[in-house]
Amino acid sequence: MIRDGSFVNISGVAISIAKEEGVDREGEVRTAFFQKIDDAMDVSGPGNELLSLLNNLKSKKFRLGLVTFVRKPRLMRRLDKWGMSHFFSSIMTPERFERFKPSPEPFLEAIKELDLPPISCSAVGDEPVDMTGASKAGLQAIGLPNGFFSEDELRQSGANIIIQSLSELPHVLQGSSRESNATSTRTRGKPRGFKVQDKVLAEAAVKAGLRKLLPRRIGRGEVANSVEAILGYAWLEKRVTLDEVVSILSDESYLIPSENFARVAKMALARLTA
């Protein structure tokens, strides 16, 4: 569903099917569709796995938020019905925004409410719009391919990590969070972390003035590689320190990751050419 760059929502599919059957009352179909879902969810409950996960994360002091297409009245009814409202310190629904997922705006607003920088945050979702919006906002995007979309589709849309079950999430968050990577880098004295998306590094190359020093006809991946190369070379030549790099990349003043990578690249360039 994502190969042509378009996004599909399930209620839209239901409306299309209804129209094919000769029913052209969009509002009624949408309302009936969601009512069926809500009735089924009232009966099923949230499930022990989800409740166990939320309690686990809350006990470990994780700050939790929701970015969802579900309208707020319906969402709050669901959370209250299931006794889950207290888990979430930030809730983003479409009514608040001109542009919602796959825009990064609701994710940026959520982490602002949570009082966290993107480098400390992860977003979990089962749709390409989740992965695209989260990665554009600079969050670690974790894909869970248990819905309508495949692992490949989630990866193509920006997923950094794929999990097959929610039970894997606590381990993933504790073992591969970027804040932990920054701490480990300082402690061990050598770089440790995940692969930053080429798009972020390519944008940083432009902002740092590095792109204009490169051949015109090269792809985004090669531009991104140039940023990694200059940072690695500057470190090997002892022109920059790990503490300096980690400090800049962890700076909470900048919500867009490419800004901080641009600052690091610019610093490395200046010192190598001094």
pLDDT by residue (tens digit) across 187-211? 455 555 556 778 788 888 999 999 9
Q: Is the pLDDT of residue 8 over 50?
A: no
pLDDT tens-digit profile of 252-269? 555 566 788 889 999 999
pLDDT tens-digit profile of 218-254? 888 899 899 999 999 999 999 999 888 878 877 655 5
pLDDT of residue 92: 97
pLDDT of residue 37: 77
pLDDT of residue 245: 85
Cβ atoms 157, 224 nearer than 8 A: no
Where residue 1 falls among pLDDT bands split at 50, 70, 90?
Answer: very low
Higher-confidence position of 190 and 113? 113
pLDDT of residue 69: 92
Strand, helix or coil for residue 88: coil
**pLDDT (mean) for 131-159:** 90
Where residue 113 falls among pLDDT bands split at 50, 70, 90?
Answer: very high
pLDDT of residue 186: 52
pLDDT of residue 12: 52
Averaged confidence pLDDT in the chain: 81
The two tokens of residue 181 are 């990577």
Burial pattern 27-52, b for ≥16 Cβ within 10 A else e, equals eebeeebeeebeeeeeeeebeeeeee
What percent of the chain clears pLDDT 70, i.e. is strictly above it?
78
Q: Is the pLDDT of residue 163 over 50?
A: yes
Whole-angstrom CA distances from 194 to 159, 175, 247, 271 are: 12, 11, 17, 26
pLDDT of residue 138: 86
The single-letter code of the amino acid at 274 is A
Where residue 60 falls among pLDDT bands split at 50, 70, 90?
Answer: confident
List the one residue out of 252, 273, 255 whose CA is nearest residue 210.
273
| Total-model pTM | 0.59
Cβ atoms 125, 131 nearer than 8 A: yes
pLDDT of residue 44: 81
Q: Is the pLDDT of residue 183 over 70?
A: no
